[in-house]
Amino acid sequence: MYTIEDLRNYERYLETMDAQLKEFFNEQAPYICCKQGCSHCCKSGEYPISQLEFMYLNIGMTTLPISELEDINSKIKQMKAEKLEHNSENGPFYHECPFLKDGKCSLYDFRSLICRAHGLAYFSKSGKVLVPACVDKGLNYSQVYDFDTMQISKEKYEKLGVVQEPLAHNVGLYFLTSNSLTEELGLDFGEIKPMLDWFN
């Protein structure tokens, strides 16, 4: 169980991390298409979050109007039922985020780490450079991405004539939940699993 102090430390962490992510997004601006109203990343995913993030999300849920909370709980119940029917041999169960409403996040200030970092190119645990899924929709990094090699193309970047190089950062969930700052603040994020699996 997390204490009030744990949650305060998490909020301190978010303040620092948000500032760092803002710098990364500004640096990578030539390759980023994210804007208000764009919600491709909220329409199909598993949305893995940690136990600590889920607790913070629950705090956010208490700030919502009752009618909106009822709608969200209804969506979650339906999605969980659909997940039970889903054949895992066909791959993960992807679904729309239950907090998406009219193209916006109902809990934006309480959103999870992957939501805050999504849109940037990042390193996988093995060190491979990955790009956000919206590259398939002609959005982030699509102008410098080679769909044959599934990598950022140096040739495409050079042809683009942009000074800022397309770079990946350590913003994968495994890194965001375990780094020097999390150690300094004594944060233990706990288990990580798909968002739906946290709801009873």
Maximum separation of any 2 CA atoms in the chain, in Å? 53
Per-residue pLDDT of the chain (200 residues; tens, 9 = 90+): 899 999 999 999 999 999 999 999 999 999 999 988 889 999 999 999 999 999 999 999 999 999 999 999 999 999 999 999 999 899 999 999 999 999 999 999 999 999 999 999 999 999 999 999 999 999 999 999 999 999 999 999 999 999 999 999 999 999 999 999 999 999 999 999 999 999 98
Nearest-10 crossing angle of helices 4-27, 51-61: 100
Measured CA to CA, the distance from residue 38 to residue 59 in angstroms comes to: 25
Measured CA to CA, the distance from residue 92 to residue 37 in angstroms comes to: 26
CB-CB contact of 17 with 144 (8 Å): no
3 state SS for 87-156: CHHHCCCCECCCCEECCEECCHHHCCHHHHHECECEECCCCCEECCHHHHHCCCCHHHEECCCCEECHHH
Q: Count CA atoms closer than 13 A to 69's CA, side-chain side.
A: 10
Structural domains of the chain, count: 1
Task: Using CA atoms of 79, 81, 84, 88 in order, give the dihedral in degrees to the nearest 10.
Answer: -30
Instruction: Please give the residue range of the domain that contains residue 61.
Output: 4-198
Q: What is the pTM of this model?
A: 0.93
